[in-house]
């Protein structure tokens, strides 16, 4: 009975992680949210420009030197974002729905995606340095002799393709930094407009305020 309870708890942990990632992926927009992003295509273009770097050994030293610090600063910035603004502003910002979720959750998901891609890019750089395909090539003596020429022919191309995709992920993570900054800038503009209306001229008409800020301000003033 105890063993069955432990198995159930372990399965619930995996299910919880799966549900969290599925929720994040849905809020972010799924595959279309990634593919139709300008940062996705800009990273592909930069990867093609950087082909002389990413197709040569030791390219992984670049992301290994940059990403650990960047991940730390990103998590710190993520924490600051969660503590940003007053409680009333957070409540109004989280209550406004867009595409089935709040703007607050949308910005948080942007940050989560930003940090997640950084972690994946760092892991890919570590795997590239470990050279797993080279380790697999040492298993050639235990595979049928007819397979050896196939492995020797495919191995260099598979290695270069893996390096290109890994370096693309690194560049994509850097460009997502710009996406996170723009999301914060948009929130800051909204916050500035709302604070200016509520504190400087609380009874002023909302006509000159950005549309989204007017909606947030209306909620702060108790309007529908």
Phi, psi values for residue 56, rounded to 5°: -115, 150
Position 141 scores a pLDDT of 56
pTM above 0.85, yes or no: no
Q: 3-state DSSP helix/strand/coil percent for the chain, to nearest 5?
A: 80, 0, 15
pLDDT in tens, 86-115: 676 666 666 656 667 777 788 889 889 999
Position 102 scores a pLDDT of 78
Q: Name the residue with tokens 């800009």.
A: 42
DSSP assigned state of 146: G
What are residue 97's DSSP bridge partners?
102
**Within 13 Å of residue 24, how many CA atoms lie on the same side as its CB?**
16
Position 138 scores a pLDDT of 59
pLDDT at 223 over 80: no
Q: Are 96 and 102 in contact (CB under 8 A)?
A: yes
Position 200 scores a pLDDT of 45
pLDDT at 5 over 70: no
DSSP assigned state of 98: E
- What mean pLDDT value characterizes the chain? 78
Q: Cβ–Cβ contacts within 10 Å for residue 12, how many?
A: 10
Rg (CA), the chain: 24
pLDDT at 171 over 90: yes
pLDDT at 55 over 60: yes
pLDDT in tens, 114-170: 999 999 999 999 998 887 666 555 555 555 555 556 666 777 788 889 899 999 999
Position 124 scores a pLDDT of 94
DSSP assigned state of 85: S
pLDDT at 38 over 80: yes
Confidence of residue 222 (pLDDT cuts 50, 70, 90): very low
pLDDT in tens, 60-84: 999 999 999 999 988 888 888 777 7
In angstroms, the CA 78 to CA 91 distance is: 18
In angstroms, the CA 124 to CA 121 distance is: 5
Average pLDDT of 12-20? Answer: 87
């Amino acid at each position: 009975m105890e063993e069955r309870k432990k198995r159930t708890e372990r399965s619930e942990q995996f299910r919880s992680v799966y549900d969290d990632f599925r929720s994040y992926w849905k809020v972010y927009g799924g595959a279309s949210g990634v593919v139709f992003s300008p940062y996705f295509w800009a990273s592909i273009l930069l990867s093609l420009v950087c082909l002389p770097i990413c197709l040569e050994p030791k390219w992984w030293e670049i992301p290994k030197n940059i990403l650990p610090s960047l991940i730390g600063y990103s998590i710190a910035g993520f924490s600051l974002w969660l503590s940003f603004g007053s409680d009333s502003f957070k409540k109004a910002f989280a209550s406004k729905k867009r595409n089935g979720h709040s703007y607050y959750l949308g910005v948080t998901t942007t940050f989560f995606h930003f940090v997640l891609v950084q972690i994946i890019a760092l892991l890919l750089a570590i795997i590239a340095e470990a050279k797993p395909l080279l380790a697999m090539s040492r298993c050639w003596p235990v595979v049928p002799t007819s397979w050896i020429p196939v492995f020797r022919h495919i191995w260099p191309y598979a290695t270069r393709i893996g390096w290109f995709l890994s370096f693309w992920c690194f560049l994509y993570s850097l460009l997502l930094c710009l996406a996170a900054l723009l999301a914060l800038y948009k929130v800051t503009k909204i916050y500035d407009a709302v604070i200016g209306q509520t504190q400087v001229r609380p009874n002023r008409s909302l006509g000159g305020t950005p549309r989204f800020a007017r909606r947030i301000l209306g909620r702060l003033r108790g309007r529908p």
